Structure 1
Amino acid sequence: MQLGAKLAEGKTKGIYAHPDDPELVVLFHKDGITAGDGARRSEIVGKGAIAGRTAANVLAYLEREGIATHFVGAPADDMTVVRRCAMLPLEVVMRRLATGSYLRRNPGVAEGQPFDPPLVEFFLKDDAAHDPQISEGEIVSQGIASAEDVQRMIAVGREVCAALARAWARQDVTLVDLKIEFGRPAGGELIVADVIDNDSWRIWPGGEKARMLDKQVYRNAAEVDEALLAAIKDRYLQVADMTAGF
Structure 2
Amino acid sequence: MQVGTILPDHGFKRGKKVDAGKTKTLYRVKGRPDLLWVENKDKITAHDKKEFTKSFDTKAGYATNTTCRVFELLEAAGIETAYVCQVSPTAFICKRLDMIKLEVVARRSAVGSFTDRNPHLQKEKGEEPHRFHSLVREFFLKTSNGNLSVNGEPLVKNLRGLVKDPDTKKFKMGIVDDPFIPDPYNELGWALVNPKLPKWHEKYDLGQSIDPRFVLRNQTADLLKIDELLRKIFYVLEKAWAVLEMRLIDFKLEFGYDMAGNLVVGDVIDNDSWRIRLFDWTDYSKQAFRDGENLDEVERKYGYVSRLANQFRIPKQVIVFWRGSDKDDCFDKIRQEIESQAKGTIEIVDIVLSGHKKTDKSLKMLNSIMSKYLGGGFIITNVGRSNGLGPIVSAHTSWPVMSIAATFESDPNDIFSSINMPSDTPHTATPYGKLAFLSALNHLSLNNPVAYMMRQNVIESLDDQY
Output the TM-score relative to the length of structure 1. 0.93
CA distance in 2, matches of 1:52, 1:38: 23
Percentage of matched positions with identical amino acids: 33
In angstroms, what is the RMSD of aligned CA positions?
A: 1.5
Q: Which amino acid aligns with 2:179?
A: P
CA distance in 2, matches of 1:16, 1:82: 11
Q: Deviations over 1:31-83 (max 9, x none)?
A: 11111123421111121111000010000000001111000000111101001
Q: Match for residue 124 of structure 1?
A: 141
Q: Which amino acid aligns with 2:262?
A: E
> Alpha-carbon deviation of 1:17?
0.1
Q: 2:246 aligns with which of 173, 184, 187?
A: 173
CA distance in 2, matches of 1:110, 1:79: 39
CA distance in 2, matches of 1:13, 1:19: 19
> Alpha-carbon deviation of 1:2?
4.2
CA contact (8 A) 1:37 1:127 kept: no
Q: Secondary structure of 2:255's match?
A: strand
Q: Match for residue 57 of structure 1?
A: 69
Q: Please tell me whether Structure 1 or Structure 2 has the larger radius of gyration of its CA atoms.
A: 2
The answer to whether the aligner puts 1:162 opposite 2:235 as a matched pair is: yes
Q: 1:114 aligns with which of 113, 131, 146?
A: 131
The answer to whether the aligner puts 1:182 opposite 2:252 as a matched pair is: no
Q: Match for residue 104 of structure 1?
A: 116
> Alpha-carbon deviation of 1:94?
0.3
Q: 1:84 aligns with which of 93, 96, 110?
A: 96
CA distance in 2, matches of 1:73, 1:14: 17
User: After the TM superposition, which residues 65-84 of structure 1 pair with which residues of structure 2 at under 5 Å, given as runs?
Assistant: 65-84=77-96
Q: Match for residue 142 of structure 1?
A: 212
Q: Which amino acid aligns with 1:148?
A: A
CA contact (8 A) 1:59 1:71 kept: yes
Please identify, of 112-121 and 175-184, the stretch whose mean Cα deviation from structure 2 is larger: 112-121
Q: Secondary structure of 2:249's match?
A: strand
Q: Cα 1:127–1:37, aligned 2, differ >3 Å: closer, same or farther?
A: farther
CA contact (8 A) 1:53 1:240 kept: yes
> Alpha-carbon deviation of 1:99?
0.7
CA distance in 1, matches of 2:53, 2:13: 28
Q: Match for residue 272 of structure 2?
A: 199
The answer to whether the aligner puts 1:217 opposite 2:234 as a matched pair is: no
Structure 1 stretches of at least 4 aligned residues deviating more than 3 Å after TM superposition: 138-141
CA contact (8 A) 1:11 1:38 kept: no
Gapped regions of structure 1 (runs ≥ 5): none
Please identify, of 91-100 and 40-49, the stretch whose mean Cα deviation from structure 2 is larger: 40-49
Q: Match for residue 238 of structure 1?
A: 304
> How many pairs align?
239
CA distance in 1, matches of 2:306, 2:76: 18
Q: Secondary structure of 1:15's match?
A: strand
User: After the TM superposition, which residues 13-24 of structure 1 pair with which residues of structure 2 at under 5 Å, given as runs?
Assistant: 13-24=24-35
Q: Match for residue 18 of structure 2?
A: 7
> Alpha-carbon deviation of 1:20?
3.1
Q: 2:180 aligns with which of 109, 130, 133?
A: 133
Q: Cα 1:2–1:230, aligned 2, differ >3 Å: closer, same or farther?
A: farther
Q: Which amino acid aligns with 1:13?
A: K
Q: Match for residue 432 of structure 2?
A: none
Gapped regions of structure 2 (runs ≥ 5): 1-11, 124-128, 147-176, 191-209, 313-466
CA distance in 1, matches of 2:61, 2:31: 23
> Alpha-carbon deviation of 1:89?
1.0
Q: Match for residue 205 of structure 2?
A: none
CA distance in 1, matches of 2:68, 2:238: 17
The answer to whether the aligner puts 1:32 opposite 2:32 as a matched pair is: no
Please identify, of 110-119 and 85-94, the stretch whose mean Cα deviation from structure 2 is larger: 110-119
Q: Secondary structure of 2:229's match?
A: helix
Q: Secondary structure of 1:5's match?
A: strand
CA distance in 1, matches of 2:74, 2:49: 29
Output the TM-score relative to the length of structure 2. 0.50
Q: Which amino acid aligns with 2:135?
A: P
CA distance in 2, matches of 1:73, 1:244: 15
